[in-house]
Each structure stands twice: as structure tokens, then as C-alpha cells.
Amino acid sequence: MSHSLHRYGTYESLKNDYCIYARCAKGVNRDHPGDKLRKILSIYLSEEYVNFGSSHAGKNILNGLEPEEYAKTLDNSYGIISTFAKRSAVAGVLKKIRDAELGVSIVVSGLIDQVVDIARECNLKPHTATLSLGIYGDRSLLAKGETLMITTMCGHSQVGTNLVESVREKVKNKQLTPEEAARILSKPCPCGIFNTVRCAELIGK
């Protein structure tokens, strides 16, 4: 799941940032996966999630995506994703999906040591690991590090540098709270992998 792989930040700032992606495979289980995906959606919602969304619907839950309406569209989908800020919530989701035995591939993005530890806690063995090797090239062309920590939470680059800097200035001037700023910044990211909890913490600093 490369679009959630390149989140930028310190180890400390990434400790509470996880994405879980359930995806059906073409030629294996992509035909009529609606019931399985609806079950996984209900599992996501049963834990303390931060965000989820749909690129097909063009919005996330913080931008008006209703879970009940979204569930009706899953017959024509092949995957669903959600974002979490608590290790316990990730473990809860994985245990419930494990017990449901749905036969759908599950990808967890996060710090590799934490993801492996959670998998072991859930009696699961990771199948594959994909690692980000960092940034190569002329780094002077990039935004400042504190801005990259926020923009890279949208893997399709829909959260722009200028928007982040504008919203941050409003937080400094007490025009917005960090939580309000995080919700504004989450709106351009329809997938729902933008972690508003982490964003509010970062922008509040």
C-alpha cells in the first residue's frame, strides 16, 4: 500500500499512526465482495477509528461520508481503508478480522516494529513487508519538515503545502483550534488515510 507508506516524521510522531487496508485481489476474490467488505467496515467501526473514506465516493467520513450509505456501495468496490491512532484499536481490528475468516488480504501501515509486535500479539504472521527508504534528490525543493509531516499523510498529494501553511498561521493567530485545522486539512484526502489526531498534535506545536 505505497500511498500510505511514505509518511514523514520522527519516530515519536509516527508512533500513533496506522492505516489498515482490506483489499480483494483480481482473479481471486474480487467478484461480489460486498458482504465481506461490509463485515470489515463494521469491524473498523467497532473500534476507535480516526478516519476512513472512499476515493470512489470522493470523500471521507469527516467530510460527509455516511457509513450506512457507503456500505451500500461496497458491492462495486474491492477494498476499504481506515486510519487509527491507538495500538489497541489496531489489535482489536486484526483479531476480529482474523476470527471472521473472510479470506481478504489485510495490509497494515505503520512503524514496522510496532506492526510486527501487534501481529504477534494477535497470533498473526506478516506475509510481506514493504519499507520506505526515505527521500532522495534535491531536498531543497521540498516543503519544510514540519509541513511534510502533514502533507505526506495524504498519499495522493491532495493536501497542499500552501493550505497547510495557511491553516497553521490561523492556529498561531488563535483563529482556529488545532482540531479544527486538522479537519480542514483532512477534507481534500478522500481515501480517509489522513490522521487528524496526529495532525492536531503536530500543528498544535
CB 33 within 8 A of CB 104: yes
**Taking each helix axis from N to C terminus, what angle separates 178-186 and 196-204, rounded to the nearest 10 degrees?**
130
Instruction: Report the pLDDT averaged over residues 8-27.
Output: 92
How many of the other CB atoms lie within 10 Å of CB of 10?
9
CB 177 within 8 A of CB 152: no
Q: What is the pLDDT of residues 86-119, one digit of tens each?
A: 999 999 999 999 999 999 999 999 999 999 999 9
Q: What is the pLDDT of residues 138-163, one digit of tens each?
A: 999 999 999 999 999 999 999 999 99
In percent, the amount of the chain with pLDDT more than 90 equals 79
H or E element: which one contains 23? strand 18-23
Tell me the HSE value of 64 on the side-chain side, using a 13 A CA sphere.
6
The grid coordinates of residue 197 equal: 489526531
Q: What is the pLDDT of residues 69-90, one digit of tens each?
A: 999 999 888 889 999 999 999 9
User: CA nearest 187: which of 147, 148, 160?
Assistant: 160
Q: How far apart are CA 46 and CA 49, in angstroms?
A: 8
Q: How confident is the model at residue 1 (pLDDT cuts 50, 70, 90)?
A: low
Bridge partners, residue 19, by sequence: 83, 109
- Chain length of the chain: 205
Q: What is the pLDDT of residues 35-72, one digit of tens each?
A: 999 999 999 999 999 999 988 788 999 889 999 999 99
pLDDT of residue 32: 81
